[in-house]
Structure 1
């Protein structure tokens, strides 16, 4: 195997999906290790030390949510859930269990590759102690806690900055309402989604050229928010 290429563990019981992922991701420069059930996936995580995990929720032996929790106990590695379960509650449960992102079947290999790249960037940012975050015209100096659009400094409140810094930490990935409320306001406010709507609205008016069609602060309907880390996405 090419030791310089990231190793992805695919935990998926459908052989056709595994073949599709192995062929297409392999062609894009990833190494792929396969597991047909949860127990095998957990065992591979212990022995092969993958860089990322792609996990199906509908496994034949262990529910994918339980596998997610077990993987999170074993290692702080990125987990992308890939599942036919499209309901918002399933996404929220997977993300709250420790998954980093969620993609619904059917999916495009291009979008999956982009999500995997975002996960790797998150890992590299954490390892490199990122000092400056930049996406398009948006630049955040995390050392001085200053925010700029182009050359113009944007003044934001402490709570707005805390929200933005959490989204930067997970840039390119969805962060649930619950996680944002927990980290910014505390456990007693995890049901107060109106707090998020107010402050995200304020951030959009300060950072977006058109708050109704945001370029950076994207909504994952019913689930949470995502900060576009390439500045080229659109969302509502």
Structure 2
């Protein structure tokens, strides 16, 4: 499964190690050393995946992610030396699909990349469009619609929404939903799911603070309904 991977890393040695591992696995890899170059390259030739260091010159990785998420849904795997939960949640809130803390094993990084690419492409033509109220989730095209208008979701958000849409009204725990996202870093917690749910509510709920579709089941987790509670 060959892919075009853009690596935004200002540490020349680390960038070269990542590039060599990627090419060894059959991918095409390009390295850029600052945030401005990363944005320009994604705009010029949208890669399948962006490996993005947080501490970049000119424009840092967080701002790169913020800019790109307004324009496209490229997969983003963020690399950072920051290890606090607040840093993790900020990166996910900006739309990163996975998050690795330094130092890391290049082999683990490759495993994360394989997982991201595999889950994004693992659809079949026979998958049905899921319809829950005014929501439509297409597992083949990986699109979401609401009342006929498109809803742009990050891959992590899409995985959670699609998983819940297969079983409307079922209550999912945070741990269950965490298994369908892409994060396996030891610093990732179940609050990761809360961030994704919060972002989804901003996109599909008429009043995010009073959700009709993505409802909280206190003490347990979340469930997806058909939105009929909006009438109340």
Which TM bucket (shorter chain)? 0.5 to 0.7
SS at structure 1 position matched to 2:78: strand
Output one character per residue of 1:3-58: Cα deviation in whole Å (capped at 9) or x when no partner: x7201100111101101101122112221111100011111111222110000010
Query: 1:162 Cα deviation (Å)?
Result: 9.3
Consecutive unaligned residues in structure 2, runs of 5 or more? 129-138, 140-161, 223-232
The 1:189–1:110 alpha-carbon spacing in structure 2 relative to 1, beyond 3 Å, is farther
Q: What's the counterpart of residue 209 of structure 2?
A: 188
Q: What's the counterpart of residue 106 of structure 1?
A: 103
Query: 1:130 Cα deviation (Å)?
Result: 4.8
The 1:15–1:143 alpha-carbon spacing in structure 2 relative to 1, beyond 3 Å, is closer
Consecutive unaligned residues in structure 1, runs of 5 or more? 134-140, 147-156, 202-236
The 1:142–1:92 alpha-carbon spacing in structure 2 relative to 1, beyond 3 Å, is closer
The 1:182–1:49 alpha-carbon spacing in structure 2 relative to 1, beyond 3 Å, is closer
1:116 and 2:113 correspond: yes
- The whole-number CA distance in structure 2 between the counterparts of 1:79 and 1:31 is 16
1:5 and 2:2 correspond: yes
| Aligned pairs for 1:111-190 within 5 A | 111-125=108-122, 130=127, 145=166, 158-161=169-172, 170-173=180-183, 175-181=192-198, 183=200, 187-188=208-209
- The whole-number CA distance in structure 1 between the counterparts of 2:84 and 2:13 is 23
| Aligned pairs for 1:53-132 within 5 A | 53-125=50-122, 130=127
- The whole-number CA distance in structure 1 between the counterparts of 2:122 and 2:27 is 20
TM-score (norm. length: structure 1): 0.62
Output one character per residue of 1:123-173: Cα deviation in whole Å (capped at 9) or x when no partner: 214685756x9xxxxxxx979946xxxxxxxxxx825159799657x5433
- The whole-number CA distance in structure 1 between the counterparts of 2:74 and 2:125 is 16
- The whole-number CA distance in structure 2 between the counterparts of 1:165 and 1:118 is 18
Query: Does the 8 Å CA contact 1:163/1:180 hold for their aligned counterparts?
Result: no
1:45 and 2:66 correspond: no
- The whole-number CA distance in structure 1 between the counterparts of 2:56 and 2:43 is 19
- The whole-number CA distance in structure 1 between the counterparts of 2:124 and 2:47 is 16
